[in-house]
Amino acid sequence: MKSYEFELTDDVMEKINRFTRKPVTKERVYAFPLVLCDNETDRDGERFDVSALEKLRDLFVGKTGIFDHDPKGTAQTARIFDTFIDRPEGRRTSYGEDYVCLAARAYMVRTDRNIALIDEIDAGIKKEVSISCSVSKKLCSVCGCDVYKNPCSHIKGRSYGERVCAHVLHDPRDAYEWSFVAVPAQINAGVKKTFGGDETPTSVPPQDKQLQNEHYDMLTLLKARVGALYELSGSSAVCCKALIDKLSVAELIKLEKTLSAALTKPTKPRTEALREANEKYKTNDFN
């Protein structure tokens, strides 16, 4: 069992103080370990390959931690000062490869404002995290094509022979931030203590493949419907897709209802609107 816990040694403080304007002391710092992402297939049917994790290791050093991917400066709460690749011995992914994850160490300065957050992290309440980054390629795990440039007919989550289709995220271009969230796409991402025991990541049981296939079919149809509604409203298709891919199922359903209501809301015929405007003008004129 490998522990992720660490002490605020002089070497650790030196790494932290690379990001401070003035050196901070151990007494002022709260630091904690976390797993950012791994090569296991996530809830969206996507996974990073090992080369992507190794590149993200460098890209995430110095990146800020926020809440729910809110880009406002007021949401900033912590910063990553160190990252490393972990390969737990004997651990395998659901598709049979050695499990590999990108781990990190983050710090924040102890203040009256974040004392409650520190308590929640230590108590395991604030635990799950999600990352925001961009990649240059999404490769189909079945046929290997780049779905950005040449989309194939394979559907994420569907079984094709012995393979379950997933999109493999390759060649990261940038890392933006990491966030505390309630439900992360990657089930193993979050504040960590140890591997093994209660900390052992879980995966989807193989007997649930049919249910998983149905889930991805419904999710694909839901995303397509929301995208179509966006286009009907006159929004950019590129912007729509970027937004839709980041939303949870609950958020997609809520957005679909909102767009449907807005597009189906009855509007007054132009002649009726002109008649009302004319009557209003006459009334004002006589007064």
Residues 212-247: tens digit of each pLDDT:
555 556 667 777 777 777 777 776 555 566 667 666
Same domain, 153 and 283: no
Q: Which of 145, 170, 201 is the last residue of a domain?
A: 201
CA distances from 99 to 21, 88, 200 (A): 38, 7, 12
- Is residue 203 predicted with pLDDT exceeding 80? no
**Secondary structure letter of residue 196 according to DSSP:** S
Same domain, 190 and 262: no
Q: Which of 201, 219, 254 is the last residue of a domain?
A: 201
Whole-angstrom Cα distance, residue 171 to residue 174?
9
Same domain, 245 and 259: yes
Burial per residue of 78-115, b for 16 or more beta-carbon CB atoms within 10 angstroms, e otherwise: bbbbbbeebebeebebbeeeebbbbbbbbbbeeeeebe
| Mean pLDDT in residue range 78-103 | 94
Same domain, 254 and 147: no
Query: Residue 1 falls within a domain, yes or no?
Result: no
- Is residue 281 predicted with pLDDT exceeding 50? yes
Give the predicted TM-score (pTM) of the model. 0.68
Query: Residue 163 falls within a domain, yes or no?
Result: yes
Mean of per-residue pLDDT scores for the chain? 82
Query: Residue 268 falls within a domain, yes or no?
Result: yes
Instruction: Give the number of domains in the chain.
Output: 2
- 209 or 177, higher pLDDT: 177
Query: Residue 284 falls within a domain, yes or no?
Result: yes
Cβ atoms within 10 A of the Cβ of 177, count?
19
Query: Residue 84 falls within a domain, yes or no?
Result: yes
Give the residue numbers spanning the domain of 35: 10-201
Same domain, 74 and 30: yes
In which band, very low, low, confident or very high, does the pLDDT at 252 lie, cut at 50, 70 and 90?
A: confident
- Is residue 70 predicted with pLDDT exceeding 60? yes
Same domain, 278 and 196: no
User: Among the listed ranges 188-197, 198-207, 266-275, which one has the minimum average pLDDT value?
Assistant: 198-207
Query: Residue 4 falls within a domain, yes or no?
Result: no
Query: Residue 78 falls within a domain, yes or no?
Result: yes
First-residue to last-residue Cα distance in the chain: 86
Same domain, 41 and 138: yes
Quick one: 36 exposed, middle or buried, by C-beta within 10 A (0-12, 13-18, 19+)?
buried
Same domain, 220 and 110: no
Report pLDDT for 204: 45
Q: Which of 185, 201, 217 is the last residue of a domain?
A: 201
Same domain, 79 and 128: yes
- Is residue 206 predicted with pLDDT exceeding 70? no
In which band, very low, low, confident or very high, does the pLDDT at 74 lie, cut at 50, 70 and 90?
A: confident
Report pLDDT for 67: 92
Same domain, 75 and 165: yes
- Is residue 111 predicted with pLDDT exceeding 70? yes
Query: Residue 209 falls within a domain, yes or no?
Result: yes
Same domain, 176 and 227: no
Closest CA to 60 of 79, 43, 86: 79
Same domain, 108 and 78: yes
